[in-house]
Chain A
Amino acid sequence: MRQADPAATSSRLSMPVRPSRLRAGLRLGATLLRASLLTQLEYPADFSAGLAVAALLSASDVVTFGAILWRFHAIGGWGPGGVAVLYGLSMGGYALHRLFAGDLHSLSDYVRSGDFDGLLLRPWPPLFALICRSGRVGQFANLAVPAAALVWGCERLLATGALPAWGPAVLAGVLLCGTALQYAVAIATHAAAFWIVRADELSVLTVNAPNTAAQYPLTAFPGWLRDYLVGVVPVGLCVFYPVRFLIGRGGGWPDVLCAPAAAAVALAAALALWRHGERRYMGTGT
């Protein structure tokens, strides 16, 4: 069994990021993403079918709340426009982060097979190397349905005067905060693989279930579920509370400001957990 050299890892992680190094990193990331896109385009039929099915799969989320709203017009007092915006922010943030998450969600496989050793040898932080691998260009298709829902919802709310004219700009910022939070949750969840090896099952609890719940007004949920979506996986802070204030259903500016604060705190905590886990990583010895 080999263990990552704590001193080396620590010094690499704490290394100040120089602008030239940052530029080089961005260039490298773009090159790797382009290579990934070209690889996938080598099989155009498979690529196109994948895009179509990804869009269809994300549309299946819409079927549930679409049918409920078609039949009953509101969920917990929220009409189609409000729910569409919640869905767009929740799943839009998720799809955006997946677009640039590379192999982050496959970390368990890297740890199990020992392939993570190879990332430790690279001249870049392993997290960066992991994110730049196998860009999921197909996630564009997953973004299509939430983006359409967000635009449709905003139009309806603007038309009824529920959303102020400057609301969409704030919502765009909230979407970016949600994307950062999704990164944080993904990093923290998959960093658990350094301890328990198989962290993919955990992601259903920390990623999939909260994102599904965040598509609906939090007021519909029992207290324990609201606490989970605010205190444990705070997607509620980056979706429900800002929207609630923007469409005039209560709250104040702190509800909007808590979105970037939650994203920043979560990201810092997730990166700290990742560093801790990376120092603890032991190869498979193969």
Chain B
Amino acid sequence: MPAAPAERTRRRSCVSGVRLHLLAARNGYRRGLQYRAAHMVNNLASAVFGFVYIAVWRAALAGAPATSPRTVAHGSGATGLAARGPIAPVTVASGLTAPGPGIPGSPPTAHPAALGLTPGGMAHYIALAQCLMWLTTFLPYGLGVPAAVRTGQVVADLLRPAAFWPLQMAREAGAAAYSLLYRSLPMAAVFALAVGFPLPPSAGAAAAGTAAVALGVWNALCLNYLVGVSAFWTTEARAAHWLLQSLILSCGGGTIPLRAFPAALAAVLRWLPFASLLSTPVLAWTGSSVRPDLLVSAGWAAALGCLCTCLTAAARRRLEVQGG
């Protein structure tokens, strides 16, 4: 039996809506393709950042007590840089250069194994986090919304036959796909050659890791969109952008696992959305994350999605286009 005209119209509108979002995603992907060469240079720099932090962690863990520095550097836990390159001279154990007193109020030097930190494990952690940063941390300022508000282009965006927020998200999802292929994967290859790239220990960990990455990308896009949409009220949202970057880098666990922070602080950080961007995906992929972390990510995904919808509706009513 043929569908009623109203039903046909609804289906057609649905199909064209999907097409429009796919088109936006394709445009986001193609935008990245324009700057492939520049991004490769940037990938190299990101890899250098990764090697710096890997070396710093090796040095810190090698100097921890109850372990022989040489054993740590050459032990089974150490892979990649430590195993191949020259071992960084660690002189704490030999007593040649005492580091002096620690930071006031700090606990006795921790045994790395008690915290689940090994040089090889930290190398993998940093490598994964560096690859993820291009998907969840270094996103365009406000997803391009502040620039659109300033130039008035936002009017054309709001007049399109599709909701404003999903269309922005679709475009940036395309850009994220580009980042995965041209930024994260090349860097993963570099790290795989240098320090080894961790594979999930089980199919369950692979599924959890993939879900955590997807939730992390969603949460990152939502957080950046919230920064962008604030430009409807403030015009200039750059301070909010830098604040978000600062919070992600400090509290997201990109260069330091949350468990290395003081216990009370780590407990708080685990509940913040920033952990879902870097820490949770890395831990889920390596099979060390507990289920509550994923649930926290999912909870934030729902909450941030609702917040974006509400703020977009409010922003529509608030919009003032400047100039003529």
| A residues apposed to B, CB below 8 Å | 43, 46, 49-50, 52-54, 56-57, 59-60, 63-82, 156-157, 160, 162, 198, 201-202, 204-205, 208-209, 212-213, 216-217, 219-225, 228, 249
On whether the beta carbons of B56 and A68 are closer than 8 Å, the reply is yes
On whether the beta carbons of B45 and A71 are closer than 8 Å, the reply is no
On whether the beta carbons of A64 and B255 are closer than 8 Å, the reply is yes
**A219 neighbours in B (Cβ, 8 Å):** 59, 88-89
Give the Cβ gap from A275 to chain B, nearest Cβ, in Å. 24
On whether the beta carbons of B239 and A49 are closer than 8 Å, the reply is yes
- Identify the stretch in B96-104, B157-165, B299-307 within 8 Å (CB) of chain A at 4 or more residues: B96-104
Question: Please, how many angstroms separate the alpha-carbon atoms of A223 and B89 in the complex?
Answer: 11
On whether the beta carbons of B103 and A70 are closer than 8 Å, the reply is yes
Tell me, yes or no, whether B90 is within 8 Å of chain A by CB.
Answer: yes
**Chain A proximity mask over B60-92: 1 for CB below 8 Å, otherwise 0:** 111110000000000000000100011011111
**Chain A proximity mask over B190-213: 1 for CB below 8 Å, otherwise 0:** 000000000000000000000000
- Identify the stretch in B21-29, B142-150, B256-264 within 8 Å (CB) of chain A at 4 or more residues: B256-264
**B262 neighbours in A (Cβ, 8 Å):** 70
Give the Cβ gap from B235 to chain A, nearest Cβ, in Å. 9
Known: A72-B64, A82-B100, A219-B59. 7 other contacts (CB 8 A): A57-B245, A72-B63, A75-B56, A77-B90, A80-B99, A209-B52, A212-B52
On whether the beta carbons of B260 and A225 are closer than 8 Å, the reply is no
On whether the beta carbons of B52 and A75 are closer than 8 Å, the reply is no
On whether the beta carbons of A67 and B61 are closer than 8 Å, the reply is no
Closest to A228 in B: B48
Contact of A54 among B48, B97, B101, B242 (CB under 8 A): B242
On whether the beta carbons of A204 and B45 are closer than 8 Å, the reply is yes
Q: What are 25 A-B residue pairs whose CB atoms fall within 8 Å in the complex?
A: A49-B239, A50-B239, A68-B56, A69-B103, A70-B103, A71-B60, A72-B110, A73-B106, A75-B60, A76-B59, A76-B88, A77-B96, A78-B97, A79-B98, A80-B102, A201-B38, A202-B41, A208-B49, A209-B48, A212-B52, A220-B56, A223-B85, A223-B86, A225-B51, A228-B48
Give the Cβ gap from A179 to chain B, nearest Cβ, in Å. 22
**A68 neighbours in B (Cβ, 8 Å):** 56-57, 60, 256, 260
Question: Please, how many angstroms separate the alpha-carbon atoms of A65 and B60 in the complex?
Answer: 10
Tell me, yes or no, whether B249 is within 8 Å of chain A by CB.
Answer: yes
Are A53 and B246 CB-contacts (below 8 A) given A209-B49, A222-B81?
yes
Contact of A46 among B51, B239, B255 (CB under 8 A): B239
What number of B residues sit within 8 Å (CB to CB) of A? 59
On whether the beta carbons of A79 and B56 are closer than 8 Å, the reply is no
Tell me, yes or no, whether B44 is within 8 Å of chain A by CB.
Answer: yes
Question: Please, how many angstroms separate the alpha-carbon atoms of A54 and B242 in the complex?
Answer: 8
Are A201 and B55 CB-contacts (below 8 A) given A53-B246, A70-B262?
no
**A52 neighbours in B (Cβ, 8 Å):** 239
On whether the beta carbons of B59 and A217 are closer than 8 Å, the reply is yes
Tell me, yes or no, whether B11 is within 8 Å of chain A by CB.
Answer: no
Of B35, B61, B246, B249, the most chain A CB neighbours within 10 A belong to B246
On whether the beta carbons of B88 and A57 are closer than 8 Å, the reply is no
Give the Cβ gap from B259 to chain A, nearest Cβ, in Å. 10
**B42 neighbours in A (Cβ, 8 Å):** 201, 204-205
On whether the beta carbons of B102 and A76 are closer than 8 Å, the reply is no
Give the Cβ gap from A266 to chain B, nearest Cβ, in Å. 19
Of A50, A72, A77, A79, the most chain B CB neighbours within 10 A belong to A72
Tell me, yes or no, whether B316 is within 8 Å of chain A by CB.
Answer: no
Question: Please, how many angstroms separate the alpha-carbon atoms of A204 and B109 in the complex?
Answer: 34
On whether the beta carbons of B51 and A50 are closer than 8 Å, the reply is no
Are A72 and B61 CB-contacts (below 8 A) given A50-B238, A60-B249, A224-B85?
yes
Tell me, yes or no, whether B58 is within 8 Å of chain A by CB.
Answer: yes
**B16 neighbours in A (Cβ, 8 Å):** none
On whether the beta carbons of B109 and A46 are closer than 8 Å, the reply is no
Contact of A76 among B41, B63, B239 (CB under 8 A): B63
**A72 neighbours in B (Cβ, 8 Å):** 60-61, 63-64, 109-110, 112
Give the Cβ gap from B51 to chain A, nearest Cβ, in Å. 6
On whether the beta carbons of B102 and A69 are closer than 8 Å, the reply is yes
Q: Ordered nearest first, which 3 A-B pairs have the shortest CB separation? A: A79-B99, A74-B99, A220-B59
On whether the beta carbons of A53 and B59 are closer than 8 Å, the reply is no
Tell me, yes or no, whether B250 is within 8 Å of chain A by CB.
Answer: yes
Contact of B63 among A77, A209, A228 (CB under 8 A): A77
On whether the beta carbons of A80 and B100 are closer than 8 Å, the reply is yes
On whether the beta carbons of B100 and A216 are closer than 8 Å, the reply is no
Contact of B51 among A82, A217, A222, A249 (CB under 8 A): A222
**B49 neighbours in A (Cβ, 8 Å):** 208-209, 212
On whether the beta carbons of A79 and B102 are closer than 8 Å, the reply is yes
Give the Cβ gap from B270 to chain A, nearest Cβ, in Å. 15
**Chain A proximity mask over B235-247: 1 for CB below 8 Å, otherwise 0:** 0101100110110
Question: Please, how many angstroms separate the alpha-carbon atoms of A205 and B101 in the complex?
Answer: 34
Are A216 and B56 CB-contacts (below 8 A) given A53-B242, A77-B90, A222-B85?
yes
Are A205 and B63 CB-contacts (below 8 A) given A220-B58, A223-B85?
no
**A67 neighbours in B (Cβ, 8 Å):** 256, 260-261
**B60 neighbours in A (Cβ, 8 Å):** 68, 71-72, 74-76
On whether the beta carbons of A74 and B88 are closer than 8 Å, the reply is no
Question: Please, how many angstroms separate the alpha-carbon atoms of A162 and B98 in the complex?
Answer: 10
